[in-house]
């Protein structure tokens, strides 16, 4: 029973720091990416500029996911070794999909540009 409780705590611990890091990196990327420059005539941004900035944004998101994964591997788990629990064997340590989803969801400029490109 104690091993299972420690494993559940570990999953919550890993999820928590993935969420915090993803929100932090999402905010940093949103600050780095330039604002949308809307043309008054077309009410849209230049499509070439939009595509270029979207590609740069995707590259930054990928780098952020890589950084989150590497930072997460170095964060020690306080209950490692208790009741035979080995934190290095926890599969949920690399929940990249959660990080990537959060990073993309909180990219306001990125989502707005994609909407303008697709509409």
Give the model confidence (pLDDT) of 55-102 as tens digits.
999 999 889 988 988 888 888 888 777 777 777 677 766 677 777 777
Q: Provide mean pLDDT across the span 7-22.
A: 85
Count of domains for the chain: 1
d(CA 4, CA 71) in angstroms, rounded, equals: 25
pTM recorded for the entire structure: 0.79
Structure tokens at 24: 């932090």
pLDDT class of 110 with cuts at 50, 70, 90: confident
Amino acid 116: pLDDT: 82
Domain around 12: 2-118
Q: Measure the CA dihedral 9/14/20/22, to 10°.
A: -150
Amino acid 81: pLDDT: 75
């Amino acid at each position: 029973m104690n091993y299972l409780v420690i494993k559940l705590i570990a999953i919550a611990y890993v999820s928590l720091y993935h969420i915090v890091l993803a929100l932090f990196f999402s905010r940093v990327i949103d600050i780095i990416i330039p604002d949308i420059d809307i043309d008054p005539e077309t009410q849209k941004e230049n499509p070439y500029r939009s595509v270029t900035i979207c590609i740069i944004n995707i590259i930054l998101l990928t780098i952020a996911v890589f950084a989150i994964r590497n930072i997460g591997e170095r964060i020690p788990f306080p209950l490692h070794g208790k009741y035979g629990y080995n934190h290095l064997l926890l599969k949920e340590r690399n929940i990249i999909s959660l990080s990537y989803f959060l990073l993309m969801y909180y990219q306001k400029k990125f989502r707005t540009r994609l909407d303008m490109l697709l509409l």
